[in-house]
């Protein structure tokens, strides 16, 4: 039986005097009947796949619709040229998010986290920390367990797919997962991990899923940036001791309520929101013409 | 119930778990069900698979699956070219269906030993799939556990033959579904099991009177 609430994870951690990630790892061993080593090696595979995808980003690629490609490279050039408003670290996080989102749109191999559309958020915050030598591979693996635990609770209590809950369920969930990982990596407590994840999710509540022409391209790629940057700021708030006034599990429940009420045109059908703008309509028509 | 690697994972070629990864799995499971290398495939796309399929690489993903690729295979974008090299002749077009899931594909395949099969399947999200029709008969299975599928003439005795064979080789039946087009017509048994069904037993089944064909999914590769 997997965790039904973040509170359950915190209780197990308290009772057994273990860290958040350890509780998730043990649960996985129970759930899939695998050894500790097997679970960890599978998690390593996920990390290697993320890191590999980041390293092999190709700025010259374009998605099949032609809408997406190259922005990760533009961001890197900008970082070299001048001091970004957000500072270099945050700009690097942004570049990573763009790269992964674009790689996904261009049919490269990525890790769905929790979905393909939101695949850039978690690596965007982990890869720069790792590249700068601020965290070890072992710590990254542990942080990935933190993300998985948070994501699993969100999937249990609400949803992680744009078609069911809007973009809050994809980018929002990814951001929440990434915030928890960051709090852990910076030495925050188990409770602070849950707080960081709650604030990240709460800040993206209501985000609709409105992909142009139904493709995982616009606004998806750039939403990975807000997911990642929101994770950074939420983690910093949690590390400062700031708490979500609404308990983490209740925030997840609120997301479920919002997603359920969200109109179907705003849930991955490509009919409403950004997808319904005149420019998006033109794109759709053009693609339909080239279609067959 | 999802495990943590459904949340963090799978490793896949983008851009969409339902329209790309799920489509690869649909192609793949069609190949497995056919039981031999496909040489001709007619692929009908319905709903969102048809309207946004091209931009999501659904077409290339389905062909990649038919060639035996998995969702993380980096050759998926080149599947059309690879199909030509492998001698797989395919056609892709839109189709109209009644009451089907929006992400549905109907694939009619012919294998190199002339086996034929029609598989209707849908991608239900997160890369997971469901087989909804076999040779035009409604079924319902995911291919996530070992699944034995027996196509036979609807006549008494076949169910008993299959279940007693399973009991003898100690294979536990998890679910069993029976479908037919009409009394005495074409029937399909879909049996999901906890253990693998040995190959020689499947061959034995295939040679029984009234059994038209037997297909098998081992539940591990999908
Ligand atoms: S807009 Fe929709 S498809 Fe795009 S990332 Fe958000 S949830 Fe996914």
- Per residue in A7-16, pLDDT (tens digit) is 999 999 999 9
Measured CA to CA, the distance from residue B210 to residue A111 in angstroms comes to 46
B53 found inside a domain: yes
- Residue B182's pLDDT is 87
Q: Would you place residue B128 in the very low, low, confident or very high pLDDT band (cuts 50, 70, 90)?
A: confident
The average pLDDT across B7-21 equals: 94
Residue B144 has pLDDT above 90, yes or no: no
A243: in domain: yes
Q: Do residues B17 and B44 share a domain?
A: yes
The pLDDT value recorded for residue A291 is 59
A120 has a chain B CB within 8 A of its CB: no
Q: Residue A163: pLDDT band by 50, 70, 90 thresholds?
A: confident
Q: Which of B90, B110, B134 is the last residue of a domain?
A: B134
Are residues B64 and B171 both part of a single domain? no
Question: Each residue of A168-198: pLDDT tens digit?
Answer: 999 999 999 999 999 999 999 999 999 999 9
In a domain, B86, yes or no: yes
Give me the CATH number covering residue B92: 3.30.1330.90
A209 pocket-lining for ligand 1 (C-beta < 6 Å)? yes
List Cβ neighbours of B186 (8 Å cut-off, separation of 6 or more): B135, B137, B151, B153, B154, B180, B212
Q: Do B119 and B153 fall into the same domain?
A: no
> What local confidence, expressed as pLDDT, does residue A53 receive?
97
Indicate the pairing of strand B186-193 with strand B147-153: antiparallel
Name the nearest CA neighbour of A272 among A199, A211, A204: A211
Residue contact B12–A292, C-beta within 8 A: no
Chain B nearest C-alpha distance from A33 (Å):
11
Q: Is residue A244 part of a domain?
A: yes
Contact B57 A64 (CB under 8 A): yes
Most A CBs within 10 Å: which of B8, B63, B75, B194, as the mutation test of the A interface? Answer: B8
- For the CA of A208, the closest atom of ligand 1 is 1
pLDDT over 90 percentage in chain A = 93
Per-residue pLDDT of A50-59, as tens digits, reads 999 999 999 9
Contact B9 A112 (CB under 8 A): yes
* A268 C-beta closer than 6 A to ligand 1: yes
Task: Please check the confidence at residue A88 and state whether its pLDDT lies above 90.
Answer: yes
**The pLDDT of residue B181:** 86
Pick the residue with more confidence: B218 or A144?
A144
Q: Nearest residue CA, atom 8 of ligand 1?
A: A117
| B190 domain residue, yes or no | yes
- Indicate whether B141 belongs to any domain: no
B19 lies in some domain: yes
CATH number, domain of B187, equals 3.30.70.260
Find which of B5, B7, B17, B18 to mutate to test the A interface (most A CBs within 10 Å of its CB).
Answer: B7
Could you say which DSSP state residue B198 is in?
P
Note the pLDDT of residue B221: 67
Please name the residues in contact with B30: beta carbons below 8 A apart, sequence gap of 6 or more.
B38, B41, B65, B66, B107, B109, B117, B119, B121
Give yes or no: residues B53 and B106 share one domain: yes
Residues B72 and B155 in one domain: no
Q: Do B5 and A42 touch (CB under 8 A)?
A: yes
The number of distinct structural domains making up chain A is: 1
Instruction: Give domain status of residue A1, yes or no.
Output: no
Instruction: Give the integer Cα–Cα distance in Å for A116 and B125.
Output: 11
Residue A193 CB contacts under 8 Å (≥ 6 apart), including other chains: A20, A146, A150, A180, A183, A184, A238
Among B134, B155, B170, the domain-final residue is B134
| Residue where a domain stops, chosen among B112, B134, B156 | B134
A90 vs A228: CA distance, rounded Å: 9
More confident residue, A225 or A270: A225
List the single residue in B with minimal CA-CA distance to A270.
Answer: B52
Question: Ligand 1: which of A65, A115, A167 to mutate, most ligand atoms within 8 Å of CB?
Answer: A167
Give the pLDDT confidence of B51-94 residue by residue, as tens digits.
888 889 999 999 999 999 999 999 999 999 999 999 999 999 99
Q: Which of residues 230-269 of A touch B (CB under 8 A)?
A: none
| Helix, strand or coil, per DSSP, at residue B122 | strand
* pLDDT score, position A1: 56
State which residues form the domain around B55: 4-134
> How far apart are alpha carbons A107 and A234 in whole angstroms?
31
If asked whether residues B10 and B88 sit together in one domain, one would say yes
Rounded to whole angstroms, how far apart are CA atoms B178 and B176? 7
> What mean pLDDT, rounded, does chain A reach?
96
Residue B129 contacts by C-beta under 8 Å, 6 or more apart in sequence?
Answer: B22, B25, B26, B29, B121, B122, B123, B142, B143, B222
* Alpha-carbon distance values, A98 to A32, A185, B211 (Å): 34, 23, 55
Measure in Å the smallest separation between the Cα of A114 and chain B Cα atoms.
5
Q: Which of A45, A107, A144 sits opposite B13 (nearest CB)?
A: A107
Q: Where does residue B137 rank: exposed (0-12), middle (13-18), buried (19+ CB within 10 A)? A: middle
Q: Would you say the CB of residue A211 lies under 6 angstroms from ligand 1?
A: yes
| H helix intervals, chain A | 6-16, 20-32, 36-55, 71-81, 88-105, 121-131, 137-157, 162-165, 167, 173-185, 190-203, 220-239, 248-261, 278-291
Q: How far apart, in Å, are the Cα atoms of A233 and each of A64, A101, A110, A176, A221?
A: 34, 21, 25, 11, 20
pLDDT of residue B222: 62
Residue B179 in tokens: 């479908």
Residues B167 and B196 in one domain: yes
User: Which residues on A lie below 8 Å from B45 (Cβ)?
Assistant: none
pLDDT, position B115: 92
**Residue B1's pLDDT is what?**
52
Residue A240 has pLDDT above 60, yes or no: yes
Q: Which of A254-257's residues contact partners 24+ apart within 8 Å by CB, and which partners?
A: A254/A202, A254/A205, A255/A154, A255/A158, A255/A165, A255/A168, A255/A169, A255/A172, A255/A201, A255/A205, A256/A157, A256/A158, A256/A159, A256/A165
How high is the mean pLDDT of chain B? Answer: 92
- Interface probe for B, chosen from A64, A65, A107 (most Cβ of B below 10 Å), is A107
Domain of A258, in residue numbers: 6-291
Rounded to whole angstroms, the Cα distance separating B27 from B206 reads 24
ipTM of this complex prediction, to 2 decimal places: 0.95
Find all residues with CB under 8 Å of B184, minimum gap 6, and list them: B153, B154, B155
Cβ contact (<8 Å) for B3 and A2? yes
pLDDT at position A290: 75
Q: Is residue B201 part of a domain?
A: yes
Instruction: Identify the pLDDT of residue A288.
Output: 83
The CA distance from A246 to A248, in Å, is 6
Number of domains in chain B: 2
Yes or no, beta carbons of B2 and A63 under 8 Å apart: no
The pLDDT of residue B124: 87
Q: Do B93 and B17 belong to one domain?
A: yes
Q: Is residue B140 part of a domain?
A: no
Out of B3, B17, B74, whose CB is closest to A116?
Answer: B17
B14 contacts A216? CB cut-off 8 A: yes
């Amino acid at each position: 039986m997997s965790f039904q609430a973040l509170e359950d994870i915190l209780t197990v951690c308290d009772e057994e005097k273990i860290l958040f990630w350890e509780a998730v790892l043990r649960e996985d061993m129970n759930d899939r009947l695998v050894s500790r080593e097997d679970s960890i090696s599978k998690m390593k595979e996920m990390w290697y796949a993320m890191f590999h995808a980041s390293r092999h980003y190709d700025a010259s690629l374009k998605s099949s619709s032609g809408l997406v490609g190259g922005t990760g490279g533009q961001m890197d050039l900008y970082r070299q040229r001048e001091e970004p408003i957000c500072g270099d670290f945050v700009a690097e996080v942004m570049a990573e998010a763009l790269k992964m989102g674009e790689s996904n749109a261009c049919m490269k191999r990525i890790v769905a986290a929790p979905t393909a559309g939101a695949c850039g958020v978690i690596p965007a915050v982990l890869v720069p920390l790792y590249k700068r030598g601020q965290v070890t591979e072992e710590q990254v693996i542990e942080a990935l367990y933190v993300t998985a635990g948070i994501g699993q609770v969100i999937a249990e209590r609400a949803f992680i797919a744009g078609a069911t809950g809007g973009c809050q369920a994809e980018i929002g969930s990814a951001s929440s997962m990434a915030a928890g990982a960051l709090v852990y990596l910076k030495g925050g407590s188990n409770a602070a991990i849950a707080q960081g994840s709650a604030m990240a999710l709460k800040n993206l509540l209501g985000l609709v899923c409105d992909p142009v022409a139904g493709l995982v391209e616009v606004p998806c790629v750039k939403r990975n940036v807000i997911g990642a940057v929101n994770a950074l700021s939420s983690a910093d708030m949690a590390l400062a001791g700031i708490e979500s006034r609404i308990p983490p599990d209740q925030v997840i429940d609120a997301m479920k309520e919002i997603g359920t009420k969200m109109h179907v045109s705003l849930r991955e059908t490509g009919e409403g929101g950004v997808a319904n703008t005149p420019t998006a309509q033109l794109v759709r028509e053009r693609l339909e013409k080239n279609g067959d | 119930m999802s495990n943590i690697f459904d949340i963090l994972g799978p490793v896949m070629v983008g851009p969409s778990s339902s329209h790309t990864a799920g489509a690869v799995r649909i192609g793949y499971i069609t190949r497995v069900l056919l039981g031999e290398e496909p040489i001709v495939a007619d692929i009908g796309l319905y709903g969102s698979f048809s309207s946004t399929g091209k931009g999501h690489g659904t077409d290339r993903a389905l062909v990649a699956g038919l060639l035996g690729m998995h969702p993380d295979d980096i050759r998926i974008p080149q599947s059309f070219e690879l199909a030509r090299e492998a001698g797989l002749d395919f056609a892709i077009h839109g189709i109209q269906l009644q009451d089907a899931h929006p992400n549905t594909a109907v694939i009619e395949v012919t294998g190199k030993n002339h086996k034929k099969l029609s598989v209707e399947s849908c991608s239900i999200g997160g890369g997971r799939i469901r087989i909804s029709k076999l040779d035009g008969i409604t079924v319902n299975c995911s291919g996530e556990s070992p699944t034995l599928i027996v196509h036979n003439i609807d006549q008494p005795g076949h169910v008993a033959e299959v279940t007693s064979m399973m009991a003898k080789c100690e294979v536990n039946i998890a679910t069993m579904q029976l479908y037919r087009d009409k009394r005495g017509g074409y029937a399909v048994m879909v049996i999901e099991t906890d253990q693998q069904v040995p190959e020689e037993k499947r061959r034995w089944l295939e040679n029984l009177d009234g059994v038209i064909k037997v297909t098998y999914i081992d539940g591990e590769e999908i």
